[in-house]
């Protein structure tokens, strides 16, 4: 029936038992129902990449994913990237060191996308980084520093840093 | 977004049985459907999530054919070594489309069925007149901003562009769609897409309750030596202003054209096969002058609607350059 239904989401390893409207997107479920507001709502139409999260290890857009579709799958958000002791992920460190943001609104999406981009093996050159990061828009125009951060993080991953 | 029932199907038979009820839509990657539901363009009352159906995400490259399950993700097909080797244009048409995130979500079957990006079609609040959405209501694009609209295959009722890339490659190389409903049938990709005519709401030959379960493409020398060129307003993450899927096979002399396939995207209401241009090139030398001369015929019958005149100038150049690349003379 239309309306409210029970759903279990596993986000960053924690199970959340929720009651949601069938229309609720994964993005709204994360932000409004699990209090994980690190994932950002930009365009809400799959055009900006701000809502990028990982589902079963692949980067996807949470604004075009129904929460129902993510039930029982492994969802990872920006909040789940750093180690439990607070040590930043190598991509987060690279973004800080390269000053790869200005206002920061697109940053969680950029970082989740970059982690996957490196893991997929699509960060081999600046051109390849630009192509495979093109789904993440930055209206401040921090692209040169974003490319530098992804390039540097990819180099560190290659020399043994955990992805 | 209107309210809907959500069901996750665990088998094709269940999914097809459920789809018999009116107001039902299959949900795969959701990159078109959820977007259009948010815009109130699509208003299904029942959603059948088919992403868990087993056995529909395989990619198989045999000695004679490429077969791709309808639920295979765009990203997986684009990165598949066998596909890249046997059909460069298929791989290129996929990785040059959308973004990495969308390609991880969108499926091959859904990609073929993606709907137009016509801004008037996508905005029912501001533009109630759209023959594709509401038959008989008129077309706001005809007298509107139509820079991104079609110059080929249009009618007085609709000038919306078919936005996809993969289907253009599929049509160029005589790909076929495998469709399952009460029975299974095979439809040539080139005849699958309907021109708008007086009924732009009918976009393809899929019947209500039917599901695309796969695509298949016969391997050929032209496919092996193929290329997808996509020209657009920005270098990545954008729909085509004009694109071409082409393949060339040469005789043993290395310069005479033995086989050639050409289809265009971004300029027509459906993937646009150029059989006349192909015929004009058969047996001819593969050189720049010959290719450019033949490519000029790509826009025969094209018609501008005010802002999209540039596509008529652009399309032949895109076809010529794609052919030169595939022919090894670019």
3-state secondary structure chain B: CCCCEEEECCCHHHHHHHHCCCCEEEECCCCCHHHHHHCCCCCCCEEEECCCCCCCCCEEECCCEEEEECCCEHHHHHCCHHHHHHCHHHHHHHHCCCCHHHHHHCEHHHHHCCCCCCCCCCCCCCCCCECCCCCCCCECCCCCCCCCCCCECCCCCCCCCCCCCHHHHHHHCCCEEEEECCCEEEEEHHHHECCCCCCCCCCECCCCCCEEEEEEEECCHHHHCEEEEEECCCCCCCCCCEEEEEEEEECCCCCEEEEEEEEEECCECCCEECHHHHHHHCCCECCHHHHHHHHHHHHCCCCCCCCCHHHHHHHHHHHHHHHHHHCCCC
**Candidate from B6, B235, B237 with C-beta closest to A135:** B237
Asked whether the predicted pLDDT for residue A100 surpasses 70, the reply is yes
* Residue A98 is assigned to a structural domain of this protein: yes
Phi and psi torsions of B152, nearest 5°: -130, 145
d(CA B46, CA A116): 33
Q: Which residue of B has its CA nearest to A128?
A: B236
Question: Among A19, A45, A80, which residue terminates a domain?
Answer: A80
Query: Residue B315 — pLDDT band, cuts 50, 70, 90?
Result: very high
Q: Tell me the shortest Cα–Cα distance from A64 to chain B, in angstroms.
A: 6
- Total count of domains within chain A: 2
What is the structure's pLDDT at A160?
87
Percent residues over pLDDT 90 in chain B: 99
> Smallest CA–CA separation between B101 and chain A, in Å?
4
B3–A3 C-beta distance less than 8 A: yes
Whether B4 sits inside 8 A of A69 (CB atoms) is: no
Which residues of A are less than 8 Å from B236 in CB distance?
130-131, 134
Q: Domain range spanning residue A115?
A: 90-158
**Which of A61, A108, A126 should we substitute to test contact with B (largest number of B Cβ atoms within 10 Å)?**
A61
Q: Is residue A163 assigned to a domain?
A: no
- Asked if the Cβ–Cβ distance from B101 to A1 is below 8 Å, we say no
Considering CB atoms only, which of A1, A25, A113 is closest to B5?
A: A1
List CB contacts (< 8 A) between A21 and chain B. Answer: 3
Chain A residues within 8 Å of chain B (Cβ atoms): 1-3, 5, 21-23, 25, 44-46, 49, 52, 58-61, 64-66, 68-69, 113, 116-117, 120, 122, 130-136
Judge whether A85 lies within some domain.
no
Domain B5-48 grouped into CATH 3.30.43: yes
Question: Encoding tokens for residue B278?
Answer: 């192909």
Q: Is A84 exposed, middle or buried (0-12, 13-18, 19+ CB in 10 A)?
A: exposed
What count of CB pairs under 8 Å joins A to B?
Answer: 85
Same domain, A49 and A112: no
User: Over the stretch B80-96, which tens digit does the pLDDT of each residue have?
Assistant: 999 999 999 999 999 99
A142, A107: one domain: yes
Q: How far is B27 from chain A (nearest CA, A)?
A: 9
User: The domain spanning residue A128 has which CATH number?
Assistant: 1.10.150.120
- Within 10 angstroms of residue B71's Cβ, the number of other Cβ atoms is 23
Q: Among B142, B263, B291, B132, which residue's Cα sits nearest to residue B198?
A: B132
In chain A, what residues touch B51 (CB-CB under 8 Å)? 69
Q: Fold identical between B5-48 and B221-326?
A: no
Boundaries of every domain in chain B? 5-48, 221-326
Residues A34 and A97 in one domain: no
Q: Which pLDDT does position A1 carry in this prediction?
A: 53
Nearest Cβ partner for B236 among A5, A45, A134: A134
In this structure, the answer to whether residues A46 and A97 fall within a common structural domain is no
CB within 8 Å: B236 and A131:
yes
From chain A, pick out residues whose CB is under 8 angstroms from the CB of B237: 134-135
| Cβ contact, residue pair A23, B236, below 8 Å | no
CB contact under 8 A, A69 and B49: yes
pLDDT score recorded for residue B154: 98
* pLDDT range class, residue A141, cuts 50, 70, 90: very high
Q: Within this chain, do residues A55 and A28 fall inside the same structural domain, yes or no?
A: yes
Those residues of chain B whose CB sits closer than 8 Å to some CB in chain A are 1, 3-6, 8, 27, 30-31, 34-35, 38-39, 45, 47, 49, 51, 75, 98-102, 104-105, 235-237
Across the interface, do A22 and B102 touch by the CB < 8 Å criterion?
no
**Considering only alpha carbons, which residue of chain A is nearest residue B98?**
A135
State how far residue B315 is from chain A, nearest Cα, in angstroms. 24
Cα angle B56, B193, B66; round to 5: 40
A73 occurs within a structural domain: yes
- In this prediction the ipTM stands at 0.97
Query: Span B211-234, mean pLDDT?
Result: 98
Note whether A49 contacts B99, CB cutoff 8 Å: yes
- The CATH code of the domain at B221-326 is 3.30.390.50
- The tens digit of pLDDT for each residue in B260-294 reads 999 999 999 999 999 999 999 999 999 999 999 99
The DSSP H or E segment spanning A18 is strand A14-21
Give the integer Cα–Cα distance in Å for A151 and A162.
15
If asked whether residues A94 and A76 sit together in one domain, one would say no
For residue A35, is it within any domain?
A: yes
Instruction: Identify whether residues A108 and A53 lie together within a single domain.
Output: no
The band of A2, judged by pLDDT with boundaries at 50, 70 and 90, is low
Q: Which residues of B touch A120 (CB under 8 A)?
A: 100
Contacting residues of B for A136, CB less than 8 Å apart: 99
Report phi then psi at B306, rounded to 5.
120, -55
User: How many angstroms separate the CA of residue B96 from the nearest CA in chain A?
Assistant: 9
Distance separating alpha carbons of residues B231 and B315, to the nearest angstrom: 9
- Chosen for mutation from B43, B104, B110 (greatest number of chain A CBs closer than 10 Å) is B104
- pLDDT band for A161, please (50, 70, 90 cuts): confident
Look over chain B and give the mean of its residue pLDDT values, rounded to a whole number: 97
Q: Which CATH number fits the domain that encloses residue A72?
A: 3.10.20.30
Confidence of residue B330 (pLDDT cuts 50, 70, 90): confident
Per residue in B163-192, pLDDT tens? 999 999 999 999 999 999 999 999 999 999
Task: Say whether pLDDT at A162 is over 90.
Answer: no
* Residue A104 maps to a domain: yes
pLDDT at position B220 is 98
């Amino acid at each position: 029936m239309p309306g409210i239904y029970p759903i279990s989401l596993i986000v960053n390893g924690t199970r959340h038992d929720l009651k949601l409207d069938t229309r609720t997107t994964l993005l709204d479920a994360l932000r409004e129902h699990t209090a994980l507001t690190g994932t950002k709502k930009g365009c809400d139409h799959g055009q900006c990449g701000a809502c990028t999260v990982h589902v079963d290890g692949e980067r996807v857009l949470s604004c075009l994913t129904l929460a129902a579709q993510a039930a029982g799958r492994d969802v990872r958000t920006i909040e789940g990237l750093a180690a439990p002791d607070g040590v930043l992920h190598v991509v987060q460190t690279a973004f800080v060191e390269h000053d790869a943001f200005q206002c920061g609104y697109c940053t969680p999406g950029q970082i989740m996308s970059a982690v996957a981009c490196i893991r997929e093996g699509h960060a081999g050159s600046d051109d390849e980084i630009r192509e495979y990061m093109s789904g993440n828009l930055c209206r401040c125009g921090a692209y040169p520093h974003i490319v530098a951060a992804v390039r540097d993080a990819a180099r560190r991953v290659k020399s043994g840093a955990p992805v | 977004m209107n309210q809907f029932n959500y069901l996750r199907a665990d088998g094709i038979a269940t999914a097809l049985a459920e789809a018999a009820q009116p107001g039902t839509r299959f949900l795969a990657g959701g990159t078109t459907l959820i977007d259009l539901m948010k815009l109130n363009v699509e208003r299904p009352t029942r959603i059948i999530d088919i992403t868990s159906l087993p056995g529909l995400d395989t990619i198989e490259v045999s000695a004679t054919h490429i077969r791709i399950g309808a639920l295979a993700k765009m990203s997986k097909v684009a990165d598949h070594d066998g596909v890249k080797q046997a059909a460069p244009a298929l791989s290129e048409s996929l990785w040059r489309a959308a973004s990495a995130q969308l390609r991880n979500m969108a499926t091959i079957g859904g990609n073929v069925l993606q709907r137009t990006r016509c801004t008037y079609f996508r905005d029912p609040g501001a533009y109630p007149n759209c023959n594709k959405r509401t038959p008989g209501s008129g077309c706001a694009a005809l007298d509107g901003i139509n820079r991104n609209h079609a110059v080929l295959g249009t009618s007085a009722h609709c000038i919306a562009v078919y936005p996809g890339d993969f289907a253009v490659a599929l049509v160029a190389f005589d790909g076929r769609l495998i469709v399952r409903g009460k029975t299974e049938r095979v439809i040539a990709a080139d005849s699958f897409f309907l021109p708008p005519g007086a009924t732009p709401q009918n976009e393809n030959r899929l019947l209500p309750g039917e599901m695309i379960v796969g695509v298949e493409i016969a391997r050929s020398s032209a496919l092996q030596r193929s290329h997808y060129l996509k020209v657009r307003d920005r270098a990545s993450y954008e729909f085509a202003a004009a694109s071409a899927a082409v393949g060339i096979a040469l005789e043993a002399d290395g310069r005479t054209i033995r086989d050639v396939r050409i289809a265009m995207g971004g300029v027509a209401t459906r993937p646009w096969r150029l059989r006349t241009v192909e015929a004009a090139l058969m047996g001819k030398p593969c050189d720049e002058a010959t290719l450019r001369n033949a490519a000029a015929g790509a826009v025969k019958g094209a018609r501008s609607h005010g802002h999209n005149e540039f596509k008529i100038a652009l399309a032949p150049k895109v076809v010529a350059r794609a052919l030169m690349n595939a022919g090894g003379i670019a």
